[in-house]
Amino acid sequence: MEYALISGTDMKVSRIAQGTWAIGGWMWGGTDESESIRTIHAALDKGINLIDTAPVYGFGVSEEIVGKAIEQRGQREKVFIATKVGLQWDDGSVSRNSSPDRIRKEVQDSLRRLRTDYIDIYQVHWPDLAVPIEETARTMQELFDQGLIRAIGVSNYSPQQMKRFMSASELHTVQPPYNLFERQIERDVLPYVCENNLSVFAYGPLCRGLLTGTMRPDSRFTGDDLRQSDPKFQLPVFEQYLNAVQKLDDLAQERYGKHVMDLAVRWVLDQPGITAALWGARYPAELDAVAGTLDWKLDADTLTTIDQIVRRAIRKPIGPEFMAPPTSTTIAA
């Protein structure tokens, strides 16, 4: 396993993190608690010490599973739990709420579900335009000063929003969507975090399974699977992305004896500013491929070829905007 320090802390985390959105079940077709716990244990066995979760993943289910898994394994001090705050749900409807009262309530709920008395990395899940960013930041700093959290993070924030946040609080981590097909953060977020020495946890490095190389034009998604609402998974655009995946897989095999999944995650890890990539395994066997992403580098010529393949195959790239929860109707200054 590769490890890296979170900026401004003494926390040395694995560069592959166990992501637990799918384990929560919501928008991923349900969950199996015992299987999910075995998956987290398998991740720990492979040297993964960073577990990323959120209250909204399964409306508390993901955090409860993470808490049980870590409690069963023991050695809490060797695991770094990253969770989030600022999304509330009512009858399955999710909205943003980063008010001080909401944050203070959520941290206690998360501590209870996670069966711990501190959270290693606490991240504001989405910017809430109805609450001044500085007010949210001051509340997060308050939790940090109280020792309830060990590092402060934000997710899905723009550089302008991070700048406002940092005017009122420390900031250690940033979590944006980032993969070979969703590269919007290269324009602004990545330059900003490099300039300000922030650590980046990239979510979606496999683009919701698209970059695993296992999907076909007739792949179908049922129930509440979020890929039903992702434009990239709708024909005929889906075929463009699959064509790119095939060409990337050919490239990986020809130059490195690897597969497209290895290439995609390695590509994320090799980008400047990236501390860790989230690996959303639901079953222990899905962690077997982690080894193929580690301890090698992409050369400059391959990076250029990757860009050419993606640019030629996908005529009009589609971003991850569809995942954003609704903003509040009242906009704060």
Residues annotated as catalytic are 57
Task: Write out the E strands in the chain.
Answer: 3-5, 12-14, 16-19, 50-52, 80-85, 87-90, 93-96, 121-124, 152-155, 173-175, 199-202, 274-279
In which element (H, E) is residue 141 found? helix 133-146
In which element (H, E) is residue 252 found? helix 237-256
- Distance (Å, rounded) from C-alpha 86 to C-alpha 156? 12
Strand partners, 155: 175
Q: Which one-letter amino acid corresponds to residue 96?
A: R
Cα–Cα nearest to 125, from 174, 70, 62: 174
CA angle 51, 128, 67 (to 5 degrees): 20
Distances 256 to 158, 228, 251, 259 between C-alpha atoms, Å = 35, 33, 8, 8
Inter-residue contact 173 to 140 (CB < 8 Å): no
Phi, psi torsion values for 88, nearest 5 degrees: -115, 160
Query: 33-45 vs 61-73: helix axis angle to the nearest 10?
Result: 50
What is the full DSSP assignment across 93-123? EEEE---HHHHHHHHHHHHHHHT-S-BSEEE
